[in-house]
């Protein structure tokens, strides 16, 4: 009899349904089916993959009421957020289908031969990207739909032509099973083999470890904590055949506020910050964890306004007990630091479920050193307001930050242009996305969106987990040299039968 675990309603800390733990045999069977599917011609048909993605989107929307209800029970997230997240998830699947339609994600390059080239003759070389192989995806707790079973990693891997084996997050197993049911059905509708998609549930780490170790797995997508992502990346690096791990991990998402910005719109910035810190329990990878605020009266008024507004936010339900406990411990470490003080006066939450009182802390910017509790990620509705007394203090503090998903600047056109340039450079040097006069939460799914950044924000700073270029993670190039026409994939054939953009002798063209 397999081991079981329960889902839990975080609003009430009571058990919901029971689920069977996957075991080693389930991992082996899923990976073997994925490997078989990878080598079948069906999965190489981009129209079939587009049909799978569009079919999954349609099916998720059709099953929306059921999914949102179960997800609401398992995550405590409000219905409006889950409906929006479901639409985002469906839209993301469709956006990758459109990438397949356009077809130029294969980055086709054709170099025509030149027998007279020096120092050696140039052959006919045609190169495109092909799928890397079966992909393991680790779903995140905080986005039960958009970064989970059928989230961005799954969508981009399937679009690339890679079968996917998901290790569903144990914090929302029922949601995962419903979503997996729809994706499997969509694969069947599209004529794709069973091994195209699998979903494994387990509360322990053994299933995930077995998945990372499985020889047929060619890459891993992960969204979660720095400790979790690093453990998986380390494990994958130790394999006899190491594989890439695309882990999106921790970030404190610093925000810089200038004196001029405070003078012009302190209240607007405070309102936006409070929402960005506390919405959905602050459990977002792009939640602002640290804000650099000027010393002085305007700054004092700003930080007190932020703290007072956070005091008035109802203690938000967190995703699960583990996250709540980890947040509590991290906040205690923060509060113990000699230079840190708590702002505001709301009491800690003492009632039912896993909740935490939104809160602001304050410290001098000079106290924020690498490795200190001040620069730890607090995954919840908590923000640290770092006060800087001078331009040099601001720049020095920014230079001490590690890799980030985002960095933001609130400034005014009449701010010192040189200073803004330096701040922008410091943020771009350590973050994947630089946001002006806004907040980093609410990551739009667009062609150019970059949701990544230098370590420890991710394990692979050259890649993104959101946006259309996320497909690049699951592809590798192959070049064909002097290949006879019949063996060439359509993307590389002379006549350009798919009508895609290609680089021919260095020039981008759709010509045949």
**Binding residues among 493-512 for a second copy as defined by CB under 8 A:** 501, 503, 505-506, 508
Q: Which residues are CB-neighbours of 417 under 8 A, at least 6 positions away?
A: none
Closer CB to a second copy, residue 118 or residue 336?
118
Check binding of 435 to a second copy (CB under 8 A): yes
- β-strand pairing of 382-388 with 475-481: unpaired
Which of 165, 373, 420, 498 touches a second copy by CB under 8 A?
420
Which of 3, 28, 102, 205 touches a second copy by CB under 8 A?
102
Closer CB to a second copy, residue 5 or residue 501?
501
* Residues within window 469-488 making contact with a second copy, judged by CB under 8 A: 469, 472-473, 475-484, 486-487
Q: What residue spans of 313-404 are helical by DSSP H?
A: 321-336, 391-399
Which of 4, 6, 14, 39 touches a second copy by CB under 8 A?
39
For the bound state, the minimum distance from the C-beta of residue 335 to a second copy, rounded and expressed in Å, comes to: 26
* Closest CA relative to residue 411, chosen from 252, 253, 264: 264
**Alpha-carbon span 206 to 26, nearest angstrom:** 12
Site string for a second copy, 237-266 (x = CB under 8 A): xx--xx-x----------------------
Check binding of 46 to a second copy (CB under 8 A): no
Active-site pick, 35, 162, 285, 393: 285
Which of 66, 104, 189, 311 touches a second copy by CB under 8 A?
104
> 175: which 2 tokens?
């949601």
Q: Which residues are CB-neighbours of 217 under 8 A, at least 6 positions away?
A: 31, 34, 133, 134, 135, 136, 165, 211, 243
Residue in the block written with tokens 């771009």: 428
For the bound state, the minimum distance from the C-beta of residue 315 to a second copy, rounded and expressed in Å, comes to: 25
Which of 26, 35, 85, 377 touches a second copy by CB under 8 A?
85
Stretch that binds a second copy, among 10-18, 63-71, 382-390, 412-420 (CB under 8 A): 412-420
Check binding of 3 to a second copy (CB under 8 A): no
* Residues within window 124-153 making contact with a second copy, judged by CB under 8 A: 125-127, 130, 132
For the bound state, the minimum distance from the C-beta of residue 24 to a second copy, rounded and expressed in Å, comes to: 23
The β-bridge partners of 387 are 293, 364
Residue in the block written with tokens 């957020």: 81
* Closest CA relative to residue 127, chosen from 506, 474, 512, 460: 506
Q: Rounded to 5 degrees, what are φ and ψ at 188?
A: -60, -45
The answer to whether residues 178 and 63 touch, using CB atoms and an 8 Å cutoff, is: yes
Q: Which residues are CB-neighbours of 29 under 8 A, at least 6 positions away?
A: none
> 143: which 2 tokens?
């986005």
Check binding of 436 to a second copy (CB under 8 A): yes
For the bound state, the minimum distance from the C-beta of residue 446 to a second copy, rounded and expressed in Å, comes to: 4
- Known catalytic membership, residue 285: yes
Closer CB to a second copy, residue 69 or residue 124?
124
**Alpha-carbon span 279 to 262, nearest angstrom:** 23
Spacing of C-alpha 159 from chain mean position? 17
Which of 142, 149, 320, 459 touches a second copy by CB under 8 A?
459
Which of 87, 94, 177, 259 touches a second copy by CB under 8 A?
87
Stretch that binds a second copy, among 18-26, 316-324, 327-335, 460-468 (CB under 8 A): 460-468
Closer CB to a second copy, residue 4 or residue 509?
509
Cis-peptide, bond into residue 456, ω within 30° of zero: yes
Stretch that binds a second copy, among 252-260, 265-273, 307-315, 462-470 (CB under 8 A): 462-470
Closer CB to a second copy, residue 384 or residue 457?
457
Closer CB to a second copy, residue 161 or residue 173?
161
* Residues within window 272-331 making contact with a second copy, judged by CB under 8 A: none
> 78: which 2 tokens?
């409000």
Active-site pick, 74, 85, 248, 362: 248
The answer to whether residues 403 and 431 touch, using CB atoms and an 8 Å cutoff, is: yes
Q: What residue spans of 295-416 are helical by DSSP H?
A: 297-312, 321-336, 391-399
For the bound state, the minimum distance from the C-beta of residue 442 to a second copy, rounded and expressed in Å, comes to: 5
Closer CB to a second copy, residue 155 or residue 305?
155
> 405: which 2 tokens?
């998903």
> 466: which 2 tokens?
């959101």
For the bound state, the minimum distance from the C-beta of residue 159 to a second copy, rounded and expressed in Å, comes to: 15
* Residues 7, 9, 13, 15, CA torsion sign: negative
Stretch that binds a second copy, among 54-62, 77-85, 164-172, 262-270 (CB under 8 A): 77-85
For the bound state, the minimum distance from the C-beta of residue 313 to a second copy, rounded and expressed in Å, comes to: 21
* Residues within window 354-393 making contact with a second copy, judged by CB under 8 A: none
- Give 121-190 as a 3 state SS string: CECCEEEEEEECCCEEEECCCCCCCCCCCCCHHHHHHHHHCCCEEEEECCCCHHHHHHHHHHHHHHHHHC
Check binding of 438 to a second copy (CB under 8 A): yes
* Burial classification of residue 89, based on how many CB atoms lie within 10 Å of its CB (0-12 exposed, 13-18 middle, 19 or more buried): buried
Name the CA radius of gyration of the chain, rounded: 24
Closer CB to a second copy, residue 321 or residue 416?
416
Check binding of 84 to a second copy (CB under 8 A): yes
Size of site (CB under 8 A) for a second copy: 88
Catalytic residues: 248, 285
């Amino acid at each position: 009899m397999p081991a079981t675990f329960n889902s839990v309603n975080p609003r009430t800390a009571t058990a919901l349904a029971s689920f069977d733990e996957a075991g080693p045999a389930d991992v082996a069977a899923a990976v073997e089916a994925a490997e078989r599917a990878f080598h079948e011609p069906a999965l190489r048909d981009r129209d079939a993959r587009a049909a799978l993605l569009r079919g999954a989107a349609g099916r998720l929307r059709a099953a929306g009421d059921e999914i949102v209800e179960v997800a609401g029970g398992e995550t405590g997230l409000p219905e409006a957020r889950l409906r929006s997240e479901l639409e985002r998830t469906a839209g993301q699947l469709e956006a990758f289908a459109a990438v397949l339609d356009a077809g130029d994600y294969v980055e086709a390059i054709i170099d025509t031969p030149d027998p007279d080239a020096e120092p050696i003759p140039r052959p006919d070389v045609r190169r495109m990207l092909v799928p890397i192989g079966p992909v393991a995806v680790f779903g995140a707790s905080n986005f039960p739909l958009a970064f989970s079973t059928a989230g961005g990693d799954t969508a981009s891997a399937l679009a690339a032509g890679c079968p996917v084996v998901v290790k569903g997050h144990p914090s929302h197993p029922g949601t995962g099973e419903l979503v997996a049911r729809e994706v499997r059905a969509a694969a069947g509708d599209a004529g794709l083999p069973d091994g195209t998609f699998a979903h494994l549930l387990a509360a322990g780490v053994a299933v995930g470890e077995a998945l990372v170790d499985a020889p047929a797995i060619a890459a891993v997508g992960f969204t979660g904590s720095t400790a979790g992502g690093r453990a998986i990346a380390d494990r994958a690096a130790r394999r006899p055949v190491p594989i890439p791990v695309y882990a999106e991990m921790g970030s404190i998402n610093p925000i810089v506020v200038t004196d001029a910005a405070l003078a012009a719109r302190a209240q607007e910035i405070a309102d936006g910050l409070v929402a960005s810190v506390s919405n959905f329990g602050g459990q977002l990878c792009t939640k602002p964890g640290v804000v650099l605020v000027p010393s002085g009266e305007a700054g004092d008024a700003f930080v007190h306004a932020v703290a007072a507004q956070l005091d008035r936010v109802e203690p938000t339900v967190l995703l699960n007990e583990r996250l709540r406990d980890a947040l509590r411990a991290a906040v205690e470490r923060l509060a113990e630091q000699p230079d840190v003080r708590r702002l505001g006066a709301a009491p800690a939450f003492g009632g039912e479920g896993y909740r935490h009182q939104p809160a602001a802390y304050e410290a001098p910017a000079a106290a924020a050193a690498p490795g200190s509790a001040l620069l730890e990620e607090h995954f919840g509705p908590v923000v640290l307001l770092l006060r800087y007394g001078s331009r040099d203090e601001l720049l020095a503090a920014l230079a001490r930050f590690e890799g980030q998903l985002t960095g933001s600047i609130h400034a005014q056109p009449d701010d010192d242009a040189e200073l803004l340039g330096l701040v922008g450079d410091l943020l771009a040097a350590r973050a994947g996305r630089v946001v002006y006069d806004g907040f980093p939460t609410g990551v739009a799914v667009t062609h150019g969106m970059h949701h990544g950044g230098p370590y420890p924000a991710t394990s692979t700073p050259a890649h993104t987990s959101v946006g259309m270029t996320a497909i690049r993670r699951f592809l590798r190039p192959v070049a064909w040299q002097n290949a006879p026409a019949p063996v060439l994939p359509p993307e590389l054939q002379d006549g350009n039968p798919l009508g895609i953009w290609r680089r021919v002798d260095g020039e981008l063209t759709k010509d045949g």
